Amino acid sequence: MAHRIVTGRGHDPVAGGLLEQSRFSRWLCSPNSGRVFVILAALFVSYAYFYQGEGFNQNSRFDLTRAIVEKHTLRIDAYHENTRDKALKDGHFYSDKAPGMSLMGVPVWEAGRIALRLARKDPSEPRPVIAERYLVTVLTVALPAAIAAACLFILALKFGASVDGAGFAAVALGVATPFWCYSTLFWGHAPAAAFLLFAFAAAIALGEINSPAWDVLLGTFLGLAAGWAVVTEFPSAPTAAVLGLWALAYAWPDGGRRVFRVGIGIAAGALPCVLVLLIYNTLAFGSPFQIGYPYNVMAATHTWHRQGFMGVAYPKASVLWEILIGRYRGLLPLAPVLAAAPFGLWLLWKRANTRLCALVIAVIALYYVLFNAGYSVWDGGWTYGPRFLAPALPFLCLPLALLWTRSTFALRSLLAVLVLWGALMSLMAVSTYSMPPDYVKSPVQQLLWPAFRAGHLSPFPGLWNLGMLVGLRGLASLIPLTLIWVAACAAWIWLGRLSRVPPNHVDY
């Protein structure tokens, strides 16, 4: 069935939250399609370049994947000794994490075992296990994260940013925030952020396209993406609800039939995710509404899960300072460009046509900040930066595209310096200690920078990068990654010359 693109008035690139026809065709043109590929490829390689070894959080999720594939059970009894992030129920051990990441890893782990057998390798040997862990992380974490950055580039163009502004926002997210670090770890934070951004994009598309078939299709995609974000990370639930209500708000002016179609689509997409979670909880913990955290093996000596609701109480000013400004877990010292996000958000808010989008972004960002500030284990253990804020990072970076577009040369220079600072911070983390110990109270000054400056990359056993696999050592092991980024910059410039519209030109 043919669909209709709802257009705006005059030269405003967004009208009623919808994309102008000319703007729609602009980001689909060949040079911009090429730029999407450049962003996706450069970031995917940057994430896949590093293998971060083990850790309780990763091991808990990997153990469940292995248990399902190798033992055909949800019990991780055969592997549990490598983690303390586990639940003990009726004499058996289970992962205490949300099951989404482990379930995503199942087909990849199974495919890896088949390939190893065909190559006459024993899948249970240590080196094949490491290879499978790496492959699972690359395909279930690095790939969705890179796609999310490319999606952000497209969304920024939809909001009226220049090509360079959209690219700036995508790169800021991809390498100049802790998102780079999280995208190299088998954690749920980066994939949850990606799925929520995909749901956000589906809501935007519902505002652009008005047809019965697309209403159901986009609603289903939104429900599936938002629902799987919840299965991957439980705190995603409020954000998923906000995105669903936003999509229904887009449909509301067109009448009850469209609201019904979109609602049916969202429900159809979310239902499988709900069923997966309820079935998993029932099989593992005896009730569809029981999760693993209360059964954590340290629950007897730790009371974090008893505070408030599952450890979440009211936000605390001291914690708010630490997760935003502090040297221990502060986000802004690690990614200072995010301090400019409110100014970009204000530019969106000033337009009546994008005010609702700005409000949704602000609500999502505020929710994650308040959630982290009210969480009893707000520091996140061994981690780089405030990992519980990770799903908010794409939404904070999106307004930066419009800020870059509207900025003077001097302000752009400042923004570029801030991004370079954040990229250096993230590079030090992924190259040395992606999970700084929680007893190091100033990780950058006390751990990351000294190790990076001395060339002690991947200092723990089992950590490596792709440069090391070809014999490079120390800082020299980052040379291939540097060359990849040089090639990406060259491709970006070349694509700009191919485009008939100058990269920094925007019609208002």
Tokens 């290879």, located at residue: 131
For residues 291 and 98, what is the distance between their CA atoms, to the nearest angstrom? Answer: 8
CA 415 to chain centre: 22
pTM of the model: 0.92
Strand intervals (E) in 42-148: 50-51, 86-89, 92-95
Residue in 328, 300, 281, 380 with CA at minimum distance from that of residue 56: 380
Residue type, 16: G
Beta carbons of 159 and 354 less than 8 angstroms apart = yes
Q: Tokens at residue 238, please?
A: 């409020």
Pairing of strands 18-19, 14-15: antiparallel
**Is 214:172 a contact under the CB 8 Å cutoff?**
no
Q: Which of 433, 419, 312 is nearest to 373 (CA)?
A: 312
Contact (Cβ atoms closer than 8 angstroms) between residue 180 and residue 174: yes
Per-residue confidence (pLDDT) for residue 351, from 0 to 100: 85
Rounded alpha-carbon distances, angstroms, from residue 183 to 173, 179, 195, 408: 11, 6, 13, 32
Dihedral in degrees, nearest 10, Cα atoms 305, 309, 310, 313: -70
* DSSP reduced 3-state for 209: strand
Per-residue pLDDT 10s for the chain (508 aa) are 333 333 333 333 333 334 444 444 444 455 788 999 999 999 999 999 999 988 999 999 999 999 999 999 999 999 999 999 999 999 999 999 999 999 999 999 999 999 999 999 999 899 999 999 999 999 999 999 999 999 999 999 999 999 999 999 999 999 999 999 999 999 999 999 999 999 999 999 998 888 889 999 999 999 999 999 999 999 999 999 999 999 999 899 989 999 999 999 999 999 999 999 999 999 999 999 999 888 888 865 666 566 667 778 889 999 999 999 999 999 999 999 999 999 999 999 998 788 899 999 999 999 999 999 999 899 999 999 999 999 999 999 999 999 999 999 999 999 999 999 999 999 999 999 999 999 999 999 999 999 999 999 877 778 899 999 999 999 999 999 999 999 999 999 998 887 755 545 444 3
pLDDT of residue 9: 33
**Contact status, residue 383 vs residue 435, Cβ threshold 8 Å:** yes
Angle, nearest 10°, between helix axes 100-118 and 56-66?
A: 60
Q: Which amino acid is at 96?
A: D
Distance of alpha carbon 357 from alpha carbon 344, whole angstroms: 12
Collapsing DSSP states into helix, strand and coil, what is residue 296? strand
Residue 56 near residue 435 (C-beta atoms within 8 A): no
Q: 């002690």: which residue's tokens? A: 456
pLDDT at 293: 86
* Dihedral of the alpha carbons of 184, 190, 192, 197, in degrees to the nearest 10: -130
DSSP 170-205: HHHHHHSSTHHHHTTSS-SHHHHHHHHHHHHHHHHH
Boundaries of every domain in the chain = 26-498
Contact call for residues 252 and 299 (beta carbons, < 8 A): no
How many Cα atoms are found within 13 Å in the side-chain-facing hemisphere of 109?
A: 23
Which pLDDT value is given to residue 20?
Answer: 41
Q: How many residues does the chain have?
A: 508
Selection from 209, 224, 220, 201 nearest residue 262 by Cα: 220
SS3 88: strand
Long-range contacts of 225-228 (CB under 8 A, 24+ apart): 225/195, 225/196, 225/198, 225/199, 225/269, 226/195, 226/196, 226/199, 226/269, 226/270, 227/269, 227/270, 227/271, 227/272, 227/273, 227/274, 228/100, 228/195, 228/273
